[in-house]
Amino acid sequence: MEDNSSSSSVVSGVTQASFLQKTLERLSSTQNLKLKTEEAGPVAVIALQRYLSEQTEGQQLDSYSYDVTVTDGVWRAKCFLHPSLNHLVHSNSLKTGSDISITQCSFVYNERRLGHGYICIEQLRCAAKRSAVLARVNTVSSLPMLVKQGMERSVVLQSDVPLQVSRKHYLSLWNNDDPEGDIWMSGSPSADTVLDVSKVTLLSSLDSSFKNTWKPLPLLVKIIHKSRLRYYGKFGLKIDYPYQAYFEVADQSGTMSLVLWNELCPEFYQRLNVGTVLYLQNYTLKQSYSNRSRPQMDHHRMKTFNSVEICLNPRNPASVITVVSPKSILPQWGLPDISYQFTARSELEKLANNSACDIIGLVTFVGRVERVKSKGKGPEKFWTYRWVHAVDGTSDHPFILELFSTSQAEIFSHICPMTYLVCTQMRVCHVEGSLPYLTSSCETETFITGYHKGQPYVNDPRVKSFIQWTKTLKDNVVLQKTAVGGYYRYPRPPAMFTQSMADAQVPLVAAADLKRELETLQYREHKKLAIQGQIAVVQYMETPKTPEPQGLKDKEVPSASTDVCDQTVTYPSHSSTAKQTLVESSTSHCIDSSSESRRKRRIQMSKTTQSSLNCGNIPAKRNAGRKNTDEGEEQAEEESNSAFEEVQQVGLSLEGENPHSDSNDLSWESSSWAKQQQEVSEHLCQGGLWQDSICRRFTLDEKNVLLQWSNLQPTRWTPLRTADALSPVLCPGYYHVTILGINKQIAVDAVYIPVVSSSEPQAVGLPQDPHGNTMLSCLSSGFLCPLSNTANNSEETLSSPEEILATASELEDTHVVCILDLCHLGGDKVEVMISKVYRLTEVSLD
């Protein structure tokens, strides 16, 4: 490669032609560069980083900006994503591990700083196929970073900091709670310095002398609780690292809150843990902030000083924090032992609502990570959470855990079945008519296998008893009861739907509002809504069985949520009119290869040339009809990517539409639907079941693949070993339901998956009042009665879909309220699931 005037010095060994270097050269002579299709060579996204936007006067900005690092296989380049493209990140269309084609870009100089500038990506196309560029790269980190000549010495361009120089650090890509980037220090050794403890003061003295003349004598304390991080950044705030973290510390006189502020958080947060002893100097005191969460500490049996709190600041004055080495701690200091309040599952029902407890259990189910929007003021932010089941041998029921991010990203993303899970400071939530569950608090910490060593709880009698119980288990037996990912909701909606519930918990929305909610959903965001109307169409679809895994292959896939088969299942049209047009997605329809073996019995059947799930292992290159794939790069990718295309990707294999398919599906439709359909102005979410909606059996061989599949899209791309096929789908079939709004102007399609077996994760805590297995009673209860038990092979007792659909006529012109769970699965995939259907007799106007 020749040296040139617009890029940094040549790195030895780089001899290939580089699209990025050529683009940078051209940008030296033009302010804005538009690239033709044949010029826009593919580049792979290897990092996507988020930070608070700079405030620009008179310009409406997104709350956050994004730096995207791309590679053409020769160079890497960190670029700024134009704010008009941020929506591609919000929908996870632009994601790590995928190829993009840059069609317009510019080079932006920083006018207030010498030697700083960057490429701004203004227009791009996202490729639908797996990355062809990354297939050619052995080690991404070994590729040189492309920097414009004259800017090689720029610390910003060479560091893990934002391109917008007014921001000093990155945020986690999908929430604001997790530490992100190289600035967060961890694992630093504790000090072995000799401490002068002769002049230390006690916490009780601070409490009594706060309002008097006070001299800050040193403190010697032990951390007994730790909260998650709080990011409080906003426009106009002149603080580089706007973070805050609370700790509860104790000495022999009692306990008090300690607050770590601003840049001290990146330096110390990950070094300060429960059990850590601190020697503190130059701290300040202030009156406690009353409106905040606090841990429940009655079990410590210590006096709590709540009137003041200790503040550790980076300046004015600069606090001095000494982390004392464990071997330097002396018994005569009188520091208290760490105590816990471990609760067995058999004792959970006895605890009061909102009381705190610690638990330990063996994980059997891990749900996918989802997000929910915070209702607070300031820049938009999301909480990330997942549902987990864990057993401890003291009850037939597991702990049902709603775990929010605890600023322990590495642990949170690696929770999986068969691991020992410890959760502290969980809050009890009692549910009328069902099992209680536990939700995390601001002070919750989680630990899994590999992170227990050295934790103060390891010698707790309850923990030792649990470990002894696990030694009696057989792995192969436990594995049969495990599951990962998919649609999961808890608790079930209550028996009665009230207006107060609609106002406070589950908004009752107009059909037009539902459209807006669907359009504004962001990646993995979950919303629960209610809509009035009537059910116009119900159709039963079988889920094909997936072959057993054939073992691991040394293949790479760009990321867990990049799907070769990002298809939905589609359904037969119930009218020949043009109005019944399926909403276009980025994927094709599919045929059912097992249609000949489908049930013969039909209820008001309609023939279809549309598609359903295919159970074969079909290479991606045979996946016909995929949309949003640029034709100009398709041919080039075909040759370089042919070997890659043979790898079976995460999820169900689906195939393109077959116009000659003669498959028929069990269905019912309202007698008035054909006419009503003509008058419907909009039909929302015309689709079916996404593969990400179905939980899967956990296997140790597939652990890493399943973890990435159920986690959020990563900030940085890493290669991944994957299996030829994932474990079997835990869903025998589902119902596709069309709901017509109460004013008959808008219709929406939703999926209903009945619980059919007591072994399903959704069966845990499900109220199982007997019902007649009519279509309406199934939609109302959420399960088929009675649930089958795989242990005694009682599946034969289940009502068949034919029998259930035979009762669907009771839905005719019936006014219902439907509870819908919405979740954005990435790209153009939006999951719409029916959680419960209320009859009018189950609706209260109070």
Predicted confidence at residue 115, as pLDDT, reads: 78
Predicted confidence at residue 732, as pLDDT, reads: 80
- What whole-number percentage of the chain has pLDDT above 90? 62
Instruction: Locate the DSSP E strands across 627-681.
Output: 664-669
State yes or no: pLDDT of 479 exceeds 90. Answer: yes
CATH 2.40.50.140 domain span(s) along the chain: 19-167, 203-333, 345-484
Q: Which residues pair with 191 in a beta bridge?
A: 324
Predicted confidence at residue 207, as pLDDT, reads: 80
For residue 487, with 0-12 CB atoms within 10 Å meaning exposed, 13-18 middle and 19 or more buried, which class applies?
A: buried
Predicted confidence at residue 552, as pLDDT, reads: 39
Among residues 567, 720, 710, the alpha carbon closest in space to that of 134 is found at: 720
Write the pLDDT tens digit of every residue in 301-323.
Answer: 899 999 999 999 999 999 999 99
State yes or no: pLDDT of 753 exceeds 60. Answer: yes
CATH class of 345-484: mainly beta
Mean predicted confidence (pLDDT) in 204-216: 77
Q: 3-state class of 709 per DSSP?
A: helix
Asked if residues 338 and 275 have their Cβ atoms less than 8 Å apart, the reply is: yes
DSSP 117-160: EEEEEEEEEEEEEEPSSGGG-S-GGGSPBP--TT-TT-HHHHTT
Predicted confidence at residue 580, as pLDDT, reads: 32
Predicted confidence at residue 497, as pLDDT, reads: 92
Alpha-carbon distances, residue 527 vs 437, 440, 733, 797, 820 (angstroms): 20, 19, 24, 35, 8
Predicted confidence at residue 191, as pLDDT, reads: 62
Q: How far apart are CA 811 and CA 830, in angstroms?
A: 26
Predicted confidence at residue 159, as pLDDT, reads: 81
Predicted confidence at residue 600, as pLDDT, reads: 33
Q: How far apart are CA 687 and CA 430, in angstroms?
A: 36
- What whole-number percentage of the chain has pLDDT above 70? 80
pLDDT confidence bin for 236, thresholds 50/70/90: confident
For the domain covering 19-167, report its CATH number: 2.40.50.140
Predicted confidence at residue 736, as pLDDT, reads: 96
Asked if residues 1 and 16 have their Cβ atoms less than 8 Å apart, the reply is: yes
Q: How far apart are CA 43 and CA 636, in angstroms?
A: 13
State yes or no: pLDDT of 266 exceeds 80. Answer: yes
**Which position has the higher pLDDT, 825 or 633?**
825
Q: How many helices (H) and strands (E) are present in the chain, helices listed first?
A: 16, 36
Predicted confidence at residue 721, as pLDDT, reads: 56
Mean predicted confidence (pLDDT) in 768-779: 94
State yes or no: pLDDT of 132 exceeds 60. Answer: yes
Categorise residue 564: left if φ over 0, alpha if ψ from -120 to 50, beta otherwise: alpha
Question: End-to-end CA distance of the chain, in Å?
Answer: 76
Mean predicted confidence (pLDDT) in 683-697: 89
State yes or no: pLDDT of 118 exceeds 70. Answer: yes
CATH T-level assignment (fold) for domain 508-543+666-694+729-845: OB fold (Dihydrolipoamide Acetyltransferase, E2P) (2.40.50)
Who contacts 285 (Cβ-Cβ below 8 Å, separation ≥6)?
A: 206, 210, 214, 216, 308, 309, 310, 311
DSSP 243-291: EEEEEEEEETTEEEEEEEETTHHHHHTTT--TT-EEEEES-EEEE--SS
Q: Which residues pair with 428 in a beta bridge?
A: 438
Mean predicted confidence (pLDDT) in 545-574: 38
Q: Supply 180's token pair.
A: 């992100």
**Which position has the higher pLDDT, 154 or 774?**
774
Write the pLDDT tens digit of every residue in 1-16.
Answer: 333 434 443 333 444 6
Predicted confidence at residue 582, as pLDDT, reads: 27
Categorise residue 604: left if φ over 0, alpha if ψ from -120 to 50, beta otherwise: left
Q: Taking every pair of C-alpha atoms in the chain, what is the biggest distance, in angstroms? A: 89
Report the run of H or E that residue 446 belongs to, with start and end.
strand 446-447
Mean predicted confidence (pLDDT) in 780-795: 76
Residue with tokens 């009137």: 307
Among residues 716, 591, 741, the alpha carbon closest in space to that of 665 is found at: 591
Per CATH, the homologous superfamily of domain 203-333 is Nucleic acid-binding proteins (2.40.50.140)
Please name the amino acid found at residue 618: I
Predicted confidence at residue 256, as pLDDT, reads: 96
State yes or no: pLDDT of 795 exceeds 70. Answer: no
Q: Supply 648's token pair.
A: 């079976």
DSSP 352-406: PTT-EEEEEEEEEEEPPPEEEE---SSS--EEEEEEEEEE-SSSSSPEEEEEE--
Write the pLDDT tens digit of every residue in 362-377.
Answer: 999 999 999 999 987 7
Average of per-residue pLDDT values in the chain: 82
Write the pLDDT tens digit of every residue in 180-200.
Answer: 998 998 766 666 677 888 889
Among 48-62, 112-126, 413-427, 678-692, name the one with the lowest average pLDDT. 48-62
For residue 180, with 0-12 CB atoms within 10 Å meaning exposed, 13-18 middle and 19 or more buried, which class applies?
A: buried
pTM: 0.85
Q: How far apart are CA 430 and CA 494, in angstroms?
A: 12
Predicted confidence at residue 291, as pLDDT, reads: 82
Among 595-599, 635-639, 730-734, 801-805, name the one with the lowest average pLDDT. 595-599
State yes or no: pLDDT of 254 exceeds 80. Answer: yes
Mean predicted confidence (pLDDT) in 432-441: 94
Among residues 39, 61, 44, 43, the alpha carbon closest in space to that of 52 is found at: 61
Predicted confidence at residue 190, as pLDDT, reads: 67
pLDDT confidence bin for 60, thresholds 50/70/90: low
Among residues 433, 411, 430, 431, the alpha carbon closest in space to that of 421 is found at: 411
Write the pLDDT tens digit of every residue in 570-586.
Answer: 333 333 333 332 233 33
Write the pLDDT tens digit of every residue in 388-409.
Answer: 999 999 999 999 999 999 999 9
**Which position has the higher pLDDT, 603 or 70?**
70
